[in-house]
Chain A
């Protein structure tokens, strides 16, 4: 990949983060929770995208972003009131901006009219306060200035203030028009700008900065090219020209600093106000200082260089602070919200490199297990140093593994950020009123899981919008508010992430689902299914209850794909539905796909790994704790609770497994739906951290087995999937051989079975 392609890749990755962040702020705006800081954050995101896009010549994107940021600038300055209509326009235009970014990324051309409506609406909105946001008008201004230049020679002061003998530049003149409320004084600044080599090496371009400065007001550029070296000494990426700019603006010094935001580390910059207001009182100064401290747009972060224009030839250019991993404080407060001046240093590392590191740590874990196994026969008191060394090594490996996994962890926010737009669009297409609530966006999960979570989430949201939420009329008729609510939440429970998508719609029409399933021959006509089983029919391939195929939920290929995708991630999905009240899709996903803490079990001659997260307790039951129900299933009575027993050796047809639970061990495991099961095994060998080797990648999926691993003795061992085992136990394996019918079930149990 050449440098440019690498810069572009970085730019688009950062755009994705910026758009995601922006979406979060837009949601706040939409819900009325936004404030000026929210507008600042949205403005900054657009400004960053524009900066990078300019460096790569994505003119259409730059053009639209320019108009968009002009309107947001007017909003944050208080000149434009953020009314419901204007907020709606901002939301729509954010979607258009995303489309333009993606079109640039995919090198596709959107139809010319794609942004026209939004563009016109933005220009019209800006015009209501006398500002011309149309960059074409700025072109006209340039032409006028060219004429001035031609007449006056070089270094003509290009003042936007209306002059009697010069055609006023429409945009800037309008910006300086007296229509603006509480107009700031017109101040003159001298800006000394000396780029360093790094500025060019990071693909930054002074021309872009200069053209942005020109938009602030009256502008004069003086270049000093005295240091240009001879032709045989010049370096193509050297910085030899320095500039002095005189700028007359009412936008304040910070607006000038904002222009240099992404190059501050790579230049010398000195800004002096040439005509500070003379009558400024101490109180006014104090107030200005307080305002400056409170306004996040004044925040300058040397480390926050988000545009690809700021990318370096090195593999690790700076990363936008806004996209930095939220730590506990960040998650609680949100840096954009408070605008505290924090220095967040981060780097962007190619995922392949991290993956290699993860693999190496995995191998290290296996090697450690092998050494530990080889030395377990040695007495610790005879080899205290070896024992201590191994214990320390184990500790360090665990720390190392956790650190590496933390590098891969990302807040689910990055995938949640796409949802508001999806819901907005679906609500529009279905003529429904739908509000999206989200919580737990800062829950962190492995990047691989995040990457593959987008499609399933989209399918489920579509399903909720299309089938779940009713039309406003229907909702009113059944006594619900016209606006439906979809709540998406993420939460870490034990070693897994639980993502829940709930709606307050009509719930699953079980009668219709049964009818459709019989019609499609997915179940027998006389099948008797529980409510839960009926609900889960929607995950069968080819199932769809939509009377007409819509382009929203598709052709019934959605929910089975959702289940497949989630299962391939080592996760599970199930649905809970309450007729008339709504449905919830519950996804449980592993935190990581690389390692897990497991218990090594022996059954016959075989070893299995049971994930520690599933284990509640283990015990050797007394005979009177075992009850047999309907001469089929064995139940373990434990502290007043009945837990079905499942013999692992019968599930996997392992010879010589212990058949009597009172002589074997019962491990009580908990499933994601809260149900419990007693796994009967011969012996617990010990606890171990194991490296997950995907069976799907290396072999084929096997029900009841989540993955495989390599043990310390070099043998391959299967990692159990308790939900799959439960399924096999319920559907495929006769759990209780007839010769074991000696223990009779208690009558009470028969009744409750």
Chain B
């Protein structure tokens, strides 16, 4: 699978989600978040490229969001793709997504 891209400029770390966020992507995604959390600063999650989103990846995103909320880390979901939104919607988690700051 293609790797997640983590770019950092100033105090902002951007995580680029990959197109296929399937089961195989869950573990690398978790590691990416561990890495980002260790760096600190604002987090931008670029969800524009997501074509498929699996439940295990959604769970990691929920956990990461919970962590950032609890630790006062500012984060934003950038340009979520239709597939990204539809997956949250179908899973009955649209309300969770609606609570997160989204940058279109």
Known contacts A4-B24, A228-B59, A237-B23: does B86 contact A153 (CB below 8 Å)? no
- Which A residues lie within 8 Å of B93 (CB)? 223, 225, 241
Q: Does A552 contact B (CB under 8 A)?
A: no
Determine the distance from Cα of A513 to Cα of B66 in the docked complex, in whole angstroms.
82
Q: Does A40 contact B (CB under 8 A)?
A: no
Which residue of A is nearest B71, CB measured? A231
A211 touches B67 (CB 8 A): no
Determine the distance from Cα of A153 to Cα of B26 in the docked complex, in whole angstroms.
28
Determine the distance from Cα of A221 to Cα of B29 in the docked complex, in whole angstroms.
26
- Which B residues lie within 8 Å of A479 (CB)? none
A207 touches B92 (CB 8 A): no
Interchain CB contact (< 8 A) of A210 among B22, B24, B59, B90: B90
- Which A residues lie within 8 Å of B26 (CB)? 236-237
Determine the distance from Cα of A715 to Cα of B99 in the docked complex, in whole angstroms.
81
Determine the distance from Cα of A221 to Cα of B53 in the docked complex, in whole angstroms.
17
A230 touches B66 (CB 8 A): yes
User: A203-231 vs B: 1/0 string, CB under 8 Å?
Assistant: 10111001100100000111101001111
A241 touches B67 (CB 8 A): no
Q: Does A64 contact B (CB under 8 A)?
A: no
Determine the distance from Cα of A206 to Cα of B64 in the docked complex, in whole angstroms.
21
- Which A residues lie within 8 Å of B29 (CB)? 236
- Closest chain B CB from A222 CB (angstroms): 5
Interchain CB contact (< 8 A) of A203 among B23, B66, B67: B23
The interface size of chain B toward A, counting residues with CB under 8 Å, comes to 35
User: A453-489 vs B: 1/0 string, CB under 8 Å?
Assistant: 0000000000000000000000000000000000000
Using a CB-CB cutoff of 8 Å, which residues 21-48 of chain B contact chain A?
Answer: 22-24, 26-27, 29-30, 33-34, 37
B95 touches A231 (CB 8 A): no
Determine the distance from Cα of A92 to Cα of B5 in the docked complex, in whole angstroms.
46
User: A230-259 vs B: 1/0 string, CB under 8 Å?
Assistant: 111010111011010000000000000000
A240 touches B59 (CB 8 A): yes
Q: Does B79 contact A (CB under 8 A)?
A: no
- Closest chain A CB from B11 CB (angstroms): 20
- Closest chain A CB from B69 CB (angstroms): 11
- Closest chain A CB from B24 CB (angstroms): 6
Q: Does B20 contact A (CB under 8 A)?
A: yes
The interface size of chain A toward B, counting residues with CB under 8 Å, comes to 34
Determine the distance from Cα of A3 to Cα of B37 in the docked complex, in whole angstroms.
29
Q: Does A155 contact B (CB under 8 A)?
A: yes
Determine the distance from Cα of A14 to Cα of B57 in the docked complex, in whole angstroms.
27
B60 touches A222 (CB 8 A): no
- Which B residues lie within 8 Å of A240 (CB)? 59
A221 touches B92 (CB 8 A): yes
B30 touches A236 (CB 8 A): yes
Interchain CB contact (< 8 A) of B63 among A154, A223, A230: A230
B95 touches A200 (CB 8 A): no
- Closest chain A CB from B81 CB (angstroms): 13
B55 touches A231 (CB 8 A): no
- Closest chain A CB from B68 CB (angstroms): 9
Known contacts A234-B30, A234-B59: does B20 contact A154 (CB below 8 Å)? no
Q: Does A737 contact B (CB under 8 A)?
A: no
A243 touches B92 (CB 8 A): yes
Q: Does A57 contact B (CB under 8 A)?
A: yes
A207 touches B54 (CB 8 A): yes
B86 touches A142 (CB 8 A): yes
- Which A residues lie within 8 Å of B62 (CB)? 225, 228, 241
B55 touches A206 (CB 8 A): yes
- Which A residues lie within 8 Å of B33 (CB)? 231
Q: Does A532 contact B (CB under 8 A)?
A: no
Q: Does B80 contact A (CB under 8 A)?
A: no
Determine the distance from Cα of A207 to Cα of B87 in the docked complex, in whole angstroms.
7
Determine the distance from Cα of A203 to Cα of B26 in the docked complex, in whole angstroms.
12
Q: Does A146 contact B (CB under 8 A)?
A: yes
B63 touches A214 (CB 8 A): no
- Which B residues lie within 8 Å of A214 (CB)? 90
Determine the distance from Cα of A238 to Cα of B87 in the docked complex, in whole angstroms.
18
Known contacts A210-B91, A214-B90: does B98 contact A238 (CB below 8 Å)? no
Using a CB-CB cutoff of 8 Å, which residues 66-89 of chain B contact chain A?
Answer: 66-67, 86-87, 89
- Which A residues lie within 8 Å of B20 (CB)? 57
A205 touches B95 (CB 8 A): no
Q: Does A518 contact B (CB under 8 A)?
A: no
Q: Does A149 contact B (CB under 8 A)?
A: yes
Which among B20, B59, B93 has the greatest number of chain A C-beta atoms within 10 A? B59
- Closest chain A CB from B4 CB (angstroms): 13
Determine the distance from Cα of A115 to Cα of B66 in the docked complex, in whole angstroms.
46
- Which B residues lie within 8 Å of A155 (CB)? 92, 94-95
Which among A206, A230, A234, A243 has the greatest number of chain B C-beta atoms within 10 A? A234
- Which A residues lie within 8 Å of B91 (CB)? 206-207, 210, 221, 223, 241, 243
A153 touches B98 (CB 8 A): yes
Determine the distance from Cα of A222 to Cα of B94 in the docked complex, in whole angstroms.
10
User: A139-150 vs B: 1/0 string, CB under 8 Å?
Assistant: 000100010010
A207 touches B55 (CB 8 A): yes
A200 touches B67 (CB 8 A): no
Interchain CB contact (< 8 A) of A228 among B23, B52, B63, B90: B63
- Which B residues lie within 8 Å of A142 (CB)? 86
A241 touches B59 (CB 8 A): yes
Which residue of A is nearest B33, CB measured? A231
- Which A residues lie within 8 Å of B96 (CB)? 225
A231 touches B86 (CB 8 A): no
- Which A residues lie within 8 Å of B52 (CB)? 57
- Which B residues lie within 8 Å of A57 (CB)? 20, 22, 52
User: A1-39 vs B: 1/0 string, CB under 8 Å?
Assistant: 001100000000000000000000000000000000000
Determine the distance from Cα of A223 to Cα of B62 in the docked complex, in whole angstroms.
12
Interchain CB contact (< 8 A) of B55 among A149, A200, A232: A200
B55 touches A146 (CB 8 A): no
- Closest chain A CB from B89 CB (angstroms): 6
- Which A residues lie within 8 Å of B64 (CB)? 231
- Closest chain A CB from B85 CB (angstroms): 8
Determine the distance from Cα of A154 to Cα of B94 in the docked complex, in whole angstroms.
5
- Closest chain A CB from B94 CB (angstroms): 4
- Closest chain A CB from B62 CB (angstroms): 5
- Which B residues lie within 8 Å of A229 (CB)? 63
Other 5 A-B pairs with CB < 8 A, given A205-B54, A228-B66:
A203-B23, A221-B91, A225-B59, A231-B64, A231-B67
Closest 8 CB pairs of A and B: A221-B92, A154-B95, A236-B26, A223-B92, A154-B94, A231-B67, A236-B27, A234-B63
